């Protein structure tokens, strides 16, 4: 019997044949792909011919084609639809893949060939894109320890292998805590909750096989519960469960794992000659240094904290009016902020939510992509990895551009949050390859499924990442789509959120789920007027997380990360009724892998650009200005990592922005 992961895929657009793939196929396919990769790398390193760009750099680019294909399927499924078998395979594959990567960069003959090409690069006659690939390849090898003595290489391999194991354990512990907690709700406990929250709790109960409604740690359920439940005792119980994920003791506790990860990252940086892991990690990013990151964050922290402190005084007065004499607590903030929003802006989430039907918001995101970039979306009837997932073919003027998969609903087998990934990335080397992109979200099911305004923003955010993948037009897969600096990658996603706020988009697509009526103009006006409501809270919880992440990595690794977290929060004067958006034991951005370690700030770094980039459309006459859209595609969305991020942004905008547009967009520009 052949392995479907290794066969040629004769499916439409070579989508993975999900209906033929079983968990038993992954291990032999991964072994075969690793063997193929090792053989390809050995052939490059041992080639008796003198090194050329084609026989070394481009050959390396293609060496892992089979491995990329197998790993792309496996890790996407492991994150979005985990099974015990897949989790066991994750634990097995993590050190194996890390070891393979270390073998490649530790190959002395291969490194010599790369260095020979680098030293003679001016005589090679390379195009700009080829020179960029040579530069990135050499930099990646250097930063992975290619120039270290053998003892250093060996220790670095051990460190990276252990980090891969720990990141997998952290993720799986977090999923276990999230899926393992629920709170049954009696009928009396539902009092005061809007219908959509009650419906979501009843649906969660049915999914869990419970006799009645339950509260889970699905963000799309627990956050509105904290917003609307008048039961302070239940809010506290729910909030404590939500914020203690990964810190409940026992086998799923992540605190010791976080400490070991930080120590190993520091050792990794020191082996490579850097003062700290933050210095190592930030070197290739737009920010460049920890000081530049801290400067940005502190410019935002001061006005955000001032706004949050002023808001806390208002909310505490509301608490007193309810006859509660204690201080405003973290489990009170969302509840009283929602009451304040209703009072000051006449906005009620239960009134808004019927206008944000999931299907309508998907259509809105597609419609904006059509108006901006000429993309068309046609539903595909193909087998996928889960019944909740759906697929579309993306075309432009009859040309196939991509396959887009949307997987929108929460389930216990899916890790929390929302993300964009690819089963296959765009490239031209070796023949034109178009991407298969997936957006994964965790919205509550319903009939129909209704989103909060924040949920709708999340949908647009992830679709912005998807556009970055789908419009990619580069030669080399390693620099296609979202393969850019970490503090640049959020620009397309955060920029795309702005189109949800365009009045004509809401007028067309925000229609009542039952009546089909457009959102009334007064309600639309109130919604847009309140878009920076509670921004002090949102900014403080985010910036606090980013500063803790930076402090963790900018200096000696703390022996006790929880104490270090507390010290950072005390130093910056964290308001008592607000907590970090992601406390250390469930800070998956930072501890599930290296992706956002020392880099959680990048959302805000990108926000400085996204506010300025949308202003380019407004200055040109409107959100759908075709010339500005064409420039955005040409210089950012299609360009991937083919140039340094600041060069790409300057090509689009003509200059780099300051923090002023960000503060204005968050309503923090006038805070005393």
Boundary-marking domain end, from 517, 551, 584: 584
CATH of the domain at 428: 1.10.1370.40
**Cβ-contact 81, 386 below 8 angstroms:** yes
Domain presence at residue 416: yes
My answer on whether 420 and 373 are in the same domain is yes
Mean pLDDT computed over 181-206 = 93
Q: What is the pLDDT of residue 46?
A: 97
Tens digit of pLDDT for each residue in 550-579?
999 999 999 999 999 999 999 999 999 999
My answer on whether 361 and 504 are in the same domain is yes
**Cβ-contact 66, 32 below 8 angstroms:** yes
My answer on whether 369 and 490 are in the same domain is yes
My answer on whether 277 and 401 are in the same domain is no
My answer on whether 27 and 93 are in the same domain is yes
**Cβ-contact 644, 635 below 8 angstroms:** no
Q: β-pairing, 399-409 with 436-443?
A: parallel
**Cβ-contact 449, 443 below 8 angstroms:** yes
Q: What is the pLDDT of residue 446?
A: 86
My answer on whether 445 and 381 are in the same domain is yes
* Count of the separate structural domains present in the chain: 4
My answer on whether 466 and 343 are in the same domain is no
Q: What is the pLDDT of residue 595?
A: 86
**Cβ-contact 300, 668 below 8 angstroms:** yes
pLDDT band at 412 (very low <50, low <70, confident <90, very high): confident
pLDDT band at 542 (very low <50, low <70, confident <90, very high): very high
**pLDDT mean across residues, the chain:** 95
Number of H helices, E strands in the chain: 27, 7
Domain presence at residue 241: yes
Both tokens assigned to 497: 């959120």
Domain presence at residue 250: no
Quick one: how far is CA 207 from the chain centroid?
26
Quick one: how far is CA 195 from the chain centroid?
30
Give CA–CA dist 276/273, Å, rounded. 9
CA neighbor of 53 nearest in space, from 139, 120, 148, 147: 120
Tens digit of pLDDT for each residue in 454-465?
999 999 999 999
Domain presence at residue 293: yes
The answer, yes or no, to whether residue 635 has pLDDT greater than 60, is yes
Point out the catalytic residue in the list 178, 338, 462, 633. 462
Give CA–CA dist 57/139, Å, rounded. 13
Domain presence at residue 208: yes
My answer on whether 278 and 333 are in the same domain is yes
My answer on whether 486 and 629 are in the same domain is yes
Mean pLDDT computed over 399-404 = 98
Domain presence at residue 629: yes
Domain presence at residue 158: no
My answer on whether 613 and 567 are in the same domain is no
Q: What is the pLDDT of residue 415?
A: 86
Q: What is the pLDDT of residue 1?
A: 67
Q: What is the pLDDT of residue 349?
A: 82
Residue 462 bears catalytic tag: yes
Give CA–CA dist 65/34, Å, rounded. 10
**Cβ-contact 217, 240 below 8 angstroms:** no
Boundary-marking domain end, from 229, 245, 261: 245
Mean pLDDT computed over 469-482 = 98
Tens digit of pLDDT for each residue in 287-337?
999 999 999 999 999 999 999 999 999 999 999 999 999 899 999 999 999
Residue 34 domain boundaries: 12-105+107-144
Mean pLDDT computed over 497-505 = 96
My answer on whether 334 and 295 are in the same domain is yes
Quick one: how far is CA 116 from the chain centroid?
37
The answer, yes or no, to whether residue 672 has pLDDT greater than 70, is no
Domain presence at residue 277: yes
My answer on whether 304 and 451 are in the same domain is no
The answer, yes or no, to whether residue 670 has pLDDT greater than 80, is no
- The torsion angles phi and psi of 546, rounded to 5 degrees, stand at -65, -40
CATH of the domain at 26: 1.20.1050.40
367 to 341, 360, 370, 490, 510: CA distances (angstroms): 30, 10, 5, 21, 13
Boundary-marking domain end, from 124, 144, 164: 144
CA neighbor of 245 nearest in space, from 335, 183, 171: 171
Both tokens assigned to 278: 């933050």
The answer, yes or no, to whether residue 416 has pLDDT greater than 90, is no
């Amino acid at each position: 019997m052949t392995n479907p992961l290794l066969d040629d895929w004769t499916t439409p657009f070579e989508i993975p044949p999900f209906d033929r793939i079983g968990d038993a196929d992954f291990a032999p396919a991964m072994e075969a792909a690793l063997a193929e990769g090792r053989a390809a790398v050995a052939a490059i390193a041992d080639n008796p011919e003198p090194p050329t760009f084609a026989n070394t750099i481009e050959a390396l680019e293609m060496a892992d084609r089979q491995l990329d294909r197998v790993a792309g399927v496996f890790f996407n499924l492991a994150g979005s639809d985990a099974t015990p078998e897949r989790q066991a395979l994750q634990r097995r594959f993590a050190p194996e893949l890390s070891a393979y990567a270390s073998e490649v960069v530790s190959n002395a003959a291969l490194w010599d060939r790369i260095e020979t090409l680098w030293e003679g690069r001016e005589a090679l006659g390379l195009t700009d894109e080829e020179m960029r690939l040579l530069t990135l390849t050499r930099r990646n090898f250097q930063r992975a320890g290619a120039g270290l003595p053998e003892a250093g290489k060996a220790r670095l391999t051990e460190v990276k292998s252990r980090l891969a194991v720990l990141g997998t354990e952290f993720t799986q512990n977090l999923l276990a805590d999230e899926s393992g907690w629920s709170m049954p709700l009696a009928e009396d406990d539902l009092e005061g909750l809007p219908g959509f929250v009650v419906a979501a709790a009843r649906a969660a109960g049915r999914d869990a096989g419970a006799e009645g409604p339950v509260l889970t740690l699905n963000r799309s359920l627990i956050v509105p519960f904290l917003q609307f439940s008048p039961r302070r005792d239940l809010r506290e119980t729910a909030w404590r469960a939500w914020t203690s994920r990964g810190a409940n003791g026992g086998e799923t506790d992540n605190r010791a794992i976080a400490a070991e990860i930080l120590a190993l990252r520091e050792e990794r940086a020191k082996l490579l000659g850097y003062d700290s892991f933050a210095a190592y990690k930030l070197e290739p990013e737009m920010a460049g240094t920890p000081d530049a990151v801290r400067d940005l964050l502190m410019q935002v922290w001061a006005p955000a904290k001032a706004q949050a402190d002023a808001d806390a005084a208002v909310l505490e007065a509301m608490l007193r009016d309810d006859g509660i004499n204690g201080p405003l607590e973290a489990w009170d903030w969302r509840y009283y902020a929602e009451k304040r929003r209703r009072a000051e802006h006449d906005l009620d989430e239960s009134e808004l939510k019927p206008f944000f039907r999931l299907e309508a918001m998907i259509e809105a995101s597609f419609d904006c992509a059509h108006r901006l970039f000429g993309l068309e979306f046609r539903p595909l009837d193909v087998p996928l990895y889960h019944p909740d997932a759906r697929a579309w073919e993306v075309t432009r003027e009859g040309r196939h551009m991509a396959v887009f998969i949307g997987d929108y609903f929460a389930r216990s087998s899916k890790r929390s949050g929302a993300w964009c990934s690819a089963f296959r990335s765009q490239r031209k080397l070796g023949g034109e390859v178009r991407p298969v992109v997936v957006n994964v979200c965790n919205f509550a099911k319903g009939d129909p499924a209704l989103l909060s305004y924040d949920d709708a923003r999340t949908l647009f955010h992830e679709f912005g990442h998807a556009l970055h993948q789908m419009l990619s037009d580069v030669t080399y897969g390693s620099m296609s789509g979202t393969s850019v600096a970490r503090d640049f990658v959020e620009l397309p996603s955060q920029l795309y959120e702005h189109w949800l706020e365009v009045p004509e988009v809401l007028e067309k697509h925000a229609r009542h789920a039952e009546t089909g009526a457009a959102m009334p103009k007064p309600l639309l006006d109130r919604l847009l007027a309140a878009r920076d409501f509670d921004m002090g809270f949102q900014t403080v919880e985010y910036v606090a997380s980013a500063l803790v992440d930076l402090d963790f990595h900018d200096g000696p690794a703390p022996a006790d990360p929880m104490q270090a977290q507390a010290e950072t929060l005390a130093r910056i004067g964290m308001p008592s009724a607000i907590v970090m958006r992601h406390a250390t034991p469930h800070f998956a951005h930072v501890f599930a892998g290296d992706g956002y370690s020392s880099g959680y700030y990048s959302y805000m770094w990108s926000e400085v650009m996204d506010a300025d980039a949308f202003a380019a459309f407004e200055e040109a006459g409107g959100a759908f200005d075709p010339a500005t859209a064409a420039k955005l595609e040409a210089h950012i969305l299609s360009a991937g990592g083919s140039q340094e991020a600041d060069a790409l942004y300057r090509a689009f905008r003509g200059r780099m922005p300051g923090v002023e547009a960000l503060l204005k967009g968050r309503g923090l520009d006038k805070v005393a």
